Amino acid sequence: MTVTTTETRDTLKGYFKVNTIPSESHFDNLIDGMLNQSSDGIARSSGNHPLCIAASGDADGGREVIEFYEDFSKGDPEWVLCLEPKSDPDDAGTAKQGFSIGDGEGNSRLFIDKATGNVGIGTVTPSIDLAIGNGGIGLNREGDDELAIYTGKNERIRIDASGNVGYEKLSEHISPSVSFRSLGELLADGRPVDDIFDGPRLEHGFLDGEELDRLRRGTTLRISDLIHDIMDVPGVRAVRDIRLKSGDQEETWFLKLDPDKVPAFDLENSAIRLEKDGLPVKLDTDGIIEDYRKSQESIAAEPASSVELDLVPPHVHWLDKTAMATFEAAFEDWLGKKREYWRTKYGL
């Protein structure tokens, strides 16, 4: 970096003491040592606007805003804030509009794309919400409540809103749960009112009779069925190994169930291991199990409100009966006018 003036404040003050005559170079050093809004691209505009800084450089990219130096005697800055970083510091055609924190050699270390808001770490071309480097590794939000992990620009693992990556699928297959429905939901599905209210009133809502009819206690638990459920989890490409065990009983293809008991998925003693490109993925298993249990408990945690359980009569506007004439009075009035008309016209 070339500093405009190397004169310190104390040195400059010495040129402007009483009975001294500053030279042209002294004034040059004084003026160059100050900030100039027009020349230096820094301003404090009118109103309540904060300090404004304009980027320097040309339109071919690399428009830098602030450089941070460890020491001005060193040639290059340590860090640079830039508005148009380049993926290749030597190629102006690779400039990308956005905000970048880069090193002194022109490499962007953290970038926010102006058009998409995507964040890149070590890249200025993030194609997903958070991209790490140029190898297609990163995170992307899928919908409102799901997070996908990418490697090689392909989705590998997807985690839903509850944090489940397979526990919920397996638990629902082994011991399906039935959720309560509100009156509005059943009416929206086109269910007749008399069918909805057929049966005892429940505290937490309504149970769907058709859903209950589909639930049957099984006598076996087949590995093939579990594999299908696991493969339905977004991001799962293959199931390498799966084993079933109940107590001391371990089976290769299916597990017989006691017809007099309700099976349940043993969350703590079951192990789900995930791999990404051959490498194990570390998961917060305890947190996932806790979130899943909370989601199951919330199904019947609070009683449904009366609005969700009862039919609410529609709002009506009652007419003012005092302002209305009875049919008999209106008919007599009409008939009297007709008689007068006939008498006048026909002499009746």
Could you read off the pLDDT of 160-218 as tens digits, one per residue? 555 555 556 666 666 666 677 777 777 777 888 787 777 777 766 777 777 766 666 66
Confidence band (pLDDT; 50, 70, 90) for 101? very high
CA distances from 274 to 152, 156, 165, 176, 237 (A): 17, 10, 9, 24, 11
- 182 touches 205 (CB < 8 A): yes
Per-residue pLDDT, 305: 59
Mean pLDDT of 225-238: 72
Q: Which two tokens stand for residue 71?
A: 């020491």
Percent of residues, the chain, with pLDDT higher than 90: 3
Could you read off the pLDDT of 254-297 as tens digits, one per residue? 777 777 777 776 666 776 777 766 677 776 777 777 776 776 66
Confidence band (pLDDT; 50, 70, 90) for 299? low
Average pLDDT of the chain?
Answer: 74
Mean pLDDT of 215-225: 71
Whole-angstrom distance, CA of residue 187 vs CA of residue 190: 5
Mean pLDDT of 87-95: 83
Per-residue pLDDT, 190: 81
Q: Which two tokens stand for residue 176?
A: 């399906």
Confidence band (pLDDT; 50, 70, 90) for 136? low
Q: Which two tokens stand for residue 179?
A: 């959720």
Could you read off the pLDDT of 37-73 as tens digits, one per residue? 777 777 777 777 787 878 877 656 568 888 888 887 7
Confidence band (pLDDT; 50, 70, 90) for 301? low
Amino acid at 193: V
Per-residue pLDDT, 111: 93
* More confidently predicted of 200 and 78: 78
- Whole-model pTM: value is 0.41
CA distances from 71 to 1, 2, 5, 55 (A): 10, 12, 15, 22
Per-residue pLDDT, 306: 58
Is residue 334 scored above 90 in pLDDT? no
